Amino acid sequence: MFAERLKQARKIKRYSQAEISQLLGVTQQAVGKWETGRSTPDPQTIARLAEILGTTADVLLGLQQDAENSPVVGRNAFSRYTQCEIPVIGTVRAGYGALAFEEDYGKEYASVKDPSSYFYLVVKGDSMEPRISDGDLALVHRQNTLDNGDLGVLVYGLDGEGTLKKYIQRGNAVVLQPFNPNYEELVIKGEELDHLYIAGKVVETKAKW
């Protein structure tokens, strides 16, 4: 139902009905009516709503499944923040108990709240095909913990290089899972976990630049 999908999309983006009404130039009552199903906006307004909420009109109308619920968030996820310059790096490595960020590729813009907490990583290899390709940019939030199922940048081993994988907790082990079925998952357990470093969580990806 359009009303429910609109309400859900709005809550995912953490907009209030008032904010949506201001962005569209309509009354808050109108937005409220759309979300209760008492009225439906015209196609042009639905298109604008989709743009604001980082989705598509087809998704709001239920004609297409929303890919936004996958671990990789769409590129409009942070559209309510201003564009900031984020450093683009080529490699994340672990050494001496700290993470090193190497290969400076300049800057790329992203709409985030706290730019110093983010970096872009150039994806290498095809282990995350078909969703993420070699050369794509991954926007990463610096953090040293991940939730089960998150897509993260992880470094394994003292001289390991950062790898972009799905992070899965399985019992006392951690599984680093690629999307590409041609690659095997890596199971890390016991003392091996001491050599696993979490560089951050992938919040958005961009196709090759």
pLDDT tens figures, 11-31: 888 889 999 998 888 899 999
Catalytic site residue 127?
yes
- What are 205's strand-pairing partners? 138
Predicted pLDDT of residue 12: 85
Omega prior to 181 cis, within 30 of 0 = no
Which residue among the candidates 13, 127, 166, 201 is catalytic per the annotation? 127
Going by C-alpha positions, the residue among 62, 80, 65, 72 that lies closest to residue 10 is 80
Measure CA 105 to chain center.
21
Predicted pLDDT of residue 185: 92
* Whether residue 115 has pLDDT greater than 90: no
Does an H or E element contain 85, and which? strand 83-95
Whole-model pTM over 0.85: no
Predicted pLDDT of residue 29: 92
* Whether residue 146 has pLDDT greater than 90: yes
Q: What tokens appear for 147 in the block? A: 């939730």
* Whether residue 78 has pLDDT greater than 70: no
pLDDT tens figures, 38-59: 988 888 898 889 888 888 888 8
23: three-class secondary structure by DSSP: helix
Which residue among the candidates 13, 165, 166, 201 is catalytic per the annotation? 165
Place of tokens 């671990």: 71
% of the chain exceeding 90 in pLDDT: 38
Catalytic site residue 117?
no
